[in-house]
Homo-oligomer: A and B are copies of this chain.
Amino acid sequence: MEHTRYETLANRLAELIRGGTFTAGDRMPSVRQSSREHRVSISTVIEAYRRLEDTGLIEARPRSGYYVKAPSLPAARLPTIATHAKKPVHIGGASLFEALMDTVADPAVIPFAAAAPDDSMIPRAKLASISNAIFRKHGGAALRYTLPPGRRELRVAVSKRLLGAGIKASPDEIITTHGATEALLLALRATTRRGDLVAVETPTYFGILHLLRDLGLRAIEIPVSPREGLLVDAFESALRKHRVAACVVQPDFHNPIGGVMPPAAKERLARLSGQHGFTIIEDDVYGELSHEGVRNSSISLYGGRVIHIGAISKTLAPGLRVGWVVPGPHFAEIKRLKNIQCPWNATLSELMVAEFLEAGGYDRHLRRIRQLYAVQCARMRQAVIEAFPDTCRVNQPQGGFVLWIEMPVGFDAEHFAVKAMEQRISLVPGPVFSASGGLRNCFRLSCGFAFNDRTLDAVRLLGKLAGK
């Protein structure tokens, strides 16, 4: 009976997955291939794959095929979150941070600290041929000064990409920047004054905290969920007590915790911005790196005063230093500030990115690296779960490529980072991601780099250091 056949196949495949033939993140053989290999009909394979999907062993990804899922932990083993904002703080220093950064480029160190794509994921052949074409087309003009708002070719290309997030910004409403960090700096400077209070997520990308401290701004920490991003309830309570000038948020595939704000939460946040008169600084650097291939809408779609920020550092090539900001009503002020502090952009970089976005197969490239990131995250996550004590909690990112690991209270992540560095493994301890220096029992592992035996050994060594 056909019924039995697909069950038999499903069971056989399940055994192969549990036995490690197919491991977390692997693409399953295509339906056609399985049909040949197992000598069953196409429809039998389809039924078997559906069965495996129902039992949670594999998952379908649109236009890509079936993938082995990472072992799912019970909800109780996702990182915990606070429910309320803390008191405003002046941001503390992070002495360990610079030492960490100094080692990231050392090839002898396993770079779990670096949230960057693997060199092999950068489409260098295509970019090299684009670079040649630009020299041929523009001659010396490819290397002249580019003044704010940046090369029009790039602003046109970015304008088209932004449509994917529901943002309708004309090229004249976009300013290109030297990566997303400059865009964040300009956005903060345009919307705050020294001493102002800025709402930041906890945990959040450390670069945001460094900028806040440098600008003499105070922070109020809003908890972030590993599933749903910024806790709008907690933020709303805090807004009743505090006047906030700006709120820096990573709504999609949050670094480091991986959460994604549901549309309703984005809408509420936009409404709060209008009611309380603060600017939302939307850091969308990971927005195009969904593992499932979805592209969510910008908060600006729901209204509110939003400065949108993007870059190609995580998707194409960090070393080109190309980002952008859609400043909305702050356009003139951000352009003025850029003219002062970092007035001229790298012209060749801007032209290369413009051409890649327009005609370099960016969507195809994105599909490829999203899948790689998904595989690398899944493998790393499985390795962590196996190597670390059962008391550890791990996020399950739906996009991007960083893992957030929470150990029991009392665990000292800074001490752990130092011990790991002695073993030539870098990672970023939790306090670096917290305005108040909290999150001492947490740390971040980047999965941007290809997962291989060396990576696996490093995770196992970390597990031992963590007390397994």
Chain A residues proximal to chain B, CB less than 8 Å: 97-98, 101-102, 104-105, 114, 116, 118-122, 124-125, 127-128, 131-132, 135-136, 139-147, 178-179, 181-182, 185, 207, 210-211, 213-214, 313, 317-321, 335-337, 339-349
Contacts and interface: CB of A to CB of B under 8 A. Distances in A.
Tell me the dominant secondary structure on chain A's binding face.
helix
25 contacts: A98-B336, A104-B145, A104-B147, A119-B141, A124-B135, A124-B139, A124-B142, A128-B135, A132-B132, A143-B317, A146-B319, A178-B321, A179-B344, A181-B344, A182-B341, A207-B343, A211-B340, A214-B341, A318-B347, A319-B348, A320-B347, A321-B345, A342-B342, A346-B346, A348-B348
Given A105-B147, A145-B114, A147-B101, A342 B178 contact: yes
A135 B143 contact: no
Contacts of A125: 135
A457 to B, nearest CB: 23
A318 B124 CA distance: 24
B135 A131 contact: yes
A143 B120 CA distance: 11
**Which 6 pairs from chain A and chain B are nearest by CB?**
A319-B347, A119-B140, A122-B140, A143-B317, A128-B135, A143-B319
Nearest to A141: B119
A233 B105 CA distance: 48
A132 B145 CA distance: 22
Contacts of A116: 144-145
Given A135-B131, A142-B124, A147-B101, A348 B320 contact: yes
Contacts of A178: 178, 321, 342, 346
B181 A342 contact: yes
A370 to B, nearest CB: 17
B135 A127 contact: yes
| Oligomeric state, in copies | 2
A126 to B, nearest CB: 10
Contact of A131 (B118, B128, B139): B128
A373 to B, nearest CB: 15
A317 B140 CA distance: 8
Nearest to A207: B343
A93 to B, nearest CB: 10
A102 to B, nearest CB: 8
Contacts of A98: 335-336, 339
A320 B336 CA distance: 22
Contacts of A321: 178, 344-346
A34 to B, nearest CB: 34
A211 B179 CA distance: 21
B147 A124 contact: no
Contacts of A336: 98
A203 to B, nearest CB: 18
Contacts of A114: 145
A439 B127 CA distance: 48
Contacts of A185: 341
Given A132-B132, A143-B317, A181-B341, 13 more contacts: A98-B336, A98-B339, A120-B139, A145-B313, A145-B319, A181-B342, A181-B343, A211-B340, A214-B340, A319-B344, A320-B346, A346-B346, A349-B349
A120 B140 contact: yes
User: Which of A116, A185, A340 has the largest count of B CB atoms less than 10 A from its CB?
Assistant: A340
Contacts of A143: 122, 124, 127, 317-320
A185 B118 CA distance: 32
Nearest to A211: B340
Contacts of A318: 143-145, 344, 347
Contacts of A120: 139-140
A336 B99 CA distance: 11
A173 to B, nearest CB: 16
A140 B317 CA distance: 8
Contact of A140 (B105, B124, B136): B124
Nearest to A146: B319
Contact of A349 (B102, B145, B342, B346): B346
Contact of A142 (B97, B141, B210, B319): B319
A313 B145 CA distance: 9
A339 B317 CA distance: 19
